[in-house]
Chains A and B, each alone.
Chain A
């Protein structure tokens, strides 16, 4: 049996191995993903993002517990940064959620960013697809701790949750562009701390500044205490409300269309580059181009035109 067939058969080890092959960019993984693709598209994908130390992993732990109470299968993809110096990583999100490790209804996978800058790893979407094919009902994707601009999670999740904590800056921070624009649900975690109400008020005010379109989803700000489980039931209800809205308003279909287009164009871009660059490297043309650029007899624009003229596409 192939790895993909074993995944569909419920083999945990095969799923874990396939995720490894995907992450390590093994060619064989692409074939396995082809087999799995028709079996994907069923899971509800929840993205959790926010700054380092906001309590994302602890919230994820509570979210897992809440969905397990509803007897749903839960997959988690937790991403932590790769060292730019050694290439190594310490993936520590599991510490907060490992009480679920021996629950057969939960599968947790840690990934390192491996140089990817958008808050996820390159492999994230494919790993989510494997979990989807495994039959997970809910897949939670936890991004690395983000700053202001790492917003890749929006093109992966159905519902994007932005987790903040009290005392991270004034209300101007809240109207800046970036992660505060992407939330479908906002959470002020560690709500027992001083300033939680103020942070929640400022976020709410920021959200209300946006001119409301009648059909649009209006994000709310919820307060939680991750480590004591306070506010989790309300949070899960808000996810359900958003998911229902997505389905009933037709927004889900639009989201899926946009996402499919992005996945296709990203894959095309990557494959075209790999194919063309591989060909000109092998033929020695790449070397010639660099030589030409060194003595300025060739400019990079003409060089690219010449490469494309040599392919079947121009």
Chain B
């Protein structure tokens, strides 16, 4: 009877109005049977983290194409830790140079997907690396 449904927040941090990618990911997650909380455009790290906590998500997936990833993504991670929600997996995708990825991973972003990645790969990564809470 009791069965966990994976919950993922999909959002776009910062000043970046391109949400096609985020919508495609949200749709792929829906089709994979996840419950997707879609927060839409122009979110501050504070809004994203509050929403993630209120919604009790297992994973936060952020789409970012503005170039501000080195600031915004670590800031979301720091806030998650600060609010006692370090267990929520943070992943990101978008136009992010390969050279920046090691630094982002070091800052606690679990995975970074770049353009050309198939939705299957991303769904599979979530299935493997995100376990719903016990």
A interface vs B, CB < 8 Å? Answer: 12-13, 16-17, 19-20, 23-27, 82-83, 85-92, 94-95, 98-99, 101-102, 107-110, 112, 114, 274
Partner of B5, one of A13, A85, A87: A87
Assess whether A109 is in contact with B54, with CB atoms less than 8 Å apart. Answer: yes
Residues from chain B with Cβ under 8 Å of A92 in the complex: 38, 40
Main SS of chain A's interface residues?
mixed
Interface residues of B (CB under 8 A from A): 1-5, 7, 26-27, 29-40, 43-44, 46-48, 50-51, 53-56, 83-85, 133
Q: Which of chain A's residues have a CB closer than 8 A to the CB of B33?
A: 86-88
Which of A19, A88, A101 touches B34 (beta carbons < 8 Å)?
A: A88
Could you tell me if B35 and A20 are in contact, using CB atoms closer than 8 angstroms? no
Question: In angstroms, how far is the closest chain B Cβ from the Cβ of A168?
Answer: 26
| Known A-B contacts A13-B84, A102-B44; A94 and B32 likewise in contact (beta carbons under 8 Å) | no
State the CA gap A85–B33 with chains docked (Å). 9
For the complex formed, measure the closest distance between the CB of A142 and the CB atoms of chain B, giving whole angstroms.
14
Beta-carbon contact of A12 and B35 below 8 Å: no
Establish whether residues A89 and B4, one from each chain, have CB atoms under 8 Å apart when the complex forms. no
In the complex, what's the smallest C-beta–C-beta distance from B88 to chain A, in angstroms?
10
Cβ-neighbour of B53 out of A12, A85, A90 (below 8 A) = A12
- Bound together, the chains give a CA A110 to CA B53 distance in angstroms of 12
State the CA gap A95–B34 with chains docked (Å).
Answer: 18
Contact of B55 (CB < 8 Å), options: A99, A102, A110: A110
Q: Which 6 A-B pairs have the closest CB atoms?
A: A95-B40, A88-B30, A16-B56, A101-B47, A102-B46, A20-B56
Contact assessment for B133 and A95 in the assembled complex, using a CB-CB cutoff below 8 Å = no
**Interface-central residue, A19, A83, A98, by most chain B CB under 10 Å:** A98
Interchain CA distance A26-B54 in the complex, whole Å: 19
A98's contact among B1, B39, B53, by CB below 8 Å, is which?
Answer: B39
